[in-house]
Structure 1
Amino acid sequence: MCLIFQVHLDYLDAGANIILTASYQATIQGFVAKGLSEEEAESLLRRSVEIACEAREIYYDKSTTGSWDYIECGNISRRPVLVAASIGSYGAYLADGSEYSGKYGDSVSLETLKDFHRRRLQILLKSGADLIAFETIPNKLEAKAYAELLGEERVNIPAWFSFNSKDGINVVSGDSILECVSVADSCKQVVAVGINCTPPRFIHGLVLSIRKATSKPILIYPNSGETYNAELKQWTKSSGVVDDDFVSYISKWREAGASLFGGCCRTTPNTIRAIGRVLTKNP
């Protein structure tokens, strides 16, 4: 069985309502650089969505009336599960850690980013996904590129923009979180905006800031609090304060204005299961 397929099932079993495709770092340019043809690269992008959709159908098929996936109100209905096609930043393609700095150099322009992302977006839009997740956006320039692409491609499915931060004040490039969120707020295709792959200790302040720039739903899915080492290409424990289990913060984040919750790097299905317990206990 495909390992990615099994991971999707694990998260569905844990209670996830949205599963993300394994396309975050998958790009046509990256696949071609590894020797694949453009046709093969495009097929792999489509396959990432197909696997998620297949996992959802298998999950529905094996669910039983007695499980918490069903709500009994005269009729039996399934817990809604959405498939979000993940699009990572230009920095994720570079694989040099720049998705955590947002520093692409002067040669990377708005048009450069739009040209880079356009074909992948076109493929994923027609893949059967329910929405597009633009994740770990490190700077305002890339947010503008996404927003313009959504308009130019006449996208008719919803999207979310999710930024990352390393100081709890700005996005990782140093751009104002308020300015970045304003870009998302002005884009009609964007239905939610928030923060991902950011240490839990910064989330509360960021949610409060985001509320000042948008009335759209706020989503948050932090990492475990560790730091990514670009040279070693691995996560390491942060020096100084180490975050506790961020599930204990969920109620505080919800009170601040967040309405969609999840986990990013170094979190597990158990994290989602624990979040679900908190939300169910305190609806």
Structure 2
Amino acid sequence: MTQFNELLVKDKTIILDGGFGSELEKRAIDLDNNLWSASALIQSPDTVKEIHQDYLNSGAEILITDTYQANPKTFTNAGISEEQAFQLIDVAVQQAKAAIKASHNSAVVAGSVGPYGAFLANGAEYTGDYSLSSAEYKAFHRPQIARLIANDVDLIALETLPNFEEAKALAELLQDEFPLIDAYFSFSTEAGDHLWDGTKLSEAVAYFEPYQQIKAIGINCTAPENILIALGNIVPNTTKKVIVYPNAGEIYDPISKAWLTKSGPINWQQLVPVWQEAGADIIGGCCRTSPTDIKAIYQAAK
């Protein structure tokens, strides 16, 4: 049994980590480029490790690598060689593992893979407004997934998926070419009932039920108030673990690459037990959440 599966069979809520880009910004890492948080792998790998350690110290049991935007094509489009692009993916996994070792922790490492919309760097992960063939989606994602697996991640995290056809291609890719790796799928949704491309969340969740590699399924990067609605569409349609990790409820402008609103304090103590009761098994945070938020989620869940 893999370390991730050992975590899943425990009768308890599993704690995921939180936002990464905002933590890098707090440490004066320049993210105003198409590499976004992955640029920290070039600018300051040690900072990446420090953020992982902060999340471990806050109770996180799953660390997501700083590779959401780290598709090799994103790097090569920025003038970085393909060889260096793959080395930067290596660095991302190494920093997560180093944080776990330094913290004497037993957390697992999830290799983050963002959607094709993230590569477009125009906010398309929040619209799903793009279309490739299944073969093209597979060709785009294959090199990154292969390199993450070569670095011995515990699972692959397919995150912020707004496009049903892309998600289907990813499931086929894993099943046909990487059958030994576990994964979770997390969709992008505006209000908890549909993917951004219009597909019903309930239908998307049900579609992936036969894929045994997909150990958990859910949503991320939506406002906390949408989580309960989403759980109502996820839980009845799957026997898999259910994962939710909302953002801090702020509004993002993909053109200016800035957060336009500020959220007030989130009452995790109130929200988390409700989500647990509704069927959430894995809970964490996405954009603009912090180690302080994850600690509050951990305390509320335990």
Task: Sort the TM-score into its range (normalised by shorter chain).
Answer: 0.7 to 0.9
Equivalent in 157, 164, 167 of residue 191 of structure 2: 167
Report 1:62-77 matches (<5 A): none
- More relative contact order, 1 or 2 (CA 8 Å, 6+ apart): 2
Structure 1 residue 225 corresponds to structure 2 residue 246: no
Measure the CA separation in 1 of the matches of 2:61 and 2:84.
30
Structure 1 residue 121 corresponds to structure 2 residue 165: no
**Residues 192-213 of structure 1 deviation map (CA, whole Å, 9 limit, x = unaligned):** 0011001111100111110121
Following superposition, the deviation at residue 154 of structure 1 comes to 3.1
Equivalent in 101, 107, 111 of residue 127 of structure 2: 101
Partner of 2:295: 273
**TM-score normalised by length of structure 1:** 0.87
Q: Which amino acid aligns with 1:245?
A: I
Q: Which amino acid aligns with 1:197?
A: C
| Cα 1:155/1:48, change in 2 over 3 Å | farther
Contact 1:200–1:246 (CA<8 Å) still a contact in 2? no
SS at match of 2:208: helix
Aligned residue-pair number: 257
Following superposition, the deviation at residue 244 of structure 1 comes to 5.6
**Residues 137-192 of structure 1 deviation map (CA, whole Å, 9 limit, x = unaligned):** 00211110110110121331210000111122101121110221123322111000
Contact 1:42–1:123 (CA<8 Å) still a contact in 2? yes
Report 1:40-189 matches (<5 A): 40-60=84-104, 80-105=106-131, 108-189=132-213
Partner of 2:221: 197
Q: Which amino acid aligns with 1:23?
A: T
Identity fraction in percent: 40
Q: Which amino acid aligns with 1:126?
A: A
Structure 1 residue 18 corresponds to structure 2 residue 62: yes
Contact 1:170–1:177 (CA<8 Å) still a contact in 2? yes
Equivalent in 233, 248, 266 of residue 245 of structure 1: 266
Contact 2:193–2:202 (CA<8 Å) still a contact in 1? no
Measure the CA separation in 2 of the matches of 1:169 and 1:233.
26
Measure the CA separation in 2 of the matches of 1:203 and 1:243.
17
Structure 2 alignment gaps of length 5 or more: 1-44
Measure the CA separation in 1 of the matches of 2:87 and 2:190.
35
Equivalent in 274, 280, 285 of residue 263 of structure 1: 285
Contact 1:143–1:183 (CA<8 Å) still a contact in 2? no
Following superposition, the deviation at residue 16 of structure 1 comes to 0.7
SS at match of 1:80: coil
| Cα 1:246/1:123, change in 2 over 3 Å | farther
Contact 1:191–1:216 (CA<8 Å) still a contact in 2? yes
Equivalent in 9, 27, 30 of residue 71 of structure 2: 27
Contact 2:183–2:214 (CA<8 Å) still a contact in 1? yes
Measure the CA separation in 1 of the matches of 2:265 and 2:240.
29
SS at match of 1:185: coil
Contact 2:100–2:106 (CA<8 Å) still a contact in 1? no
Q: Which amino acid aligns with 1:258?
A: A
SS at match of 1:264: coil
Structure 1 alignment gaps of length 5 or more: 61-78
SS at match of 1:195: strand
Structure 1 residue 39 corresponds to structure 2 residue 55: no
| Larger Rg belongs to | 1
Contact 1:221–1:261 (CA<8 Å) still a contact in 2? yes
Contact 1:228–1:235 (CA<8 Å) still a contact in 2? yes
Partner of 2:41: none
Runs of 4+ in 1 over 6 A off after TM superposition: none
What RMSD, in angstroms, separates the aligned Cα atoms of the two structures?
A: 1.5
- Mean Cα displacement is larger for which, 151-160 or 6-15? 151-160
Q: Which amino acid aligns with 1:12?
A: L
**TM-score normalised by length of structure 2:** 0.82
SS at match of 2:144: helix
Following superposition, the deviation at residue 246 of structure 1 comes to 4.8
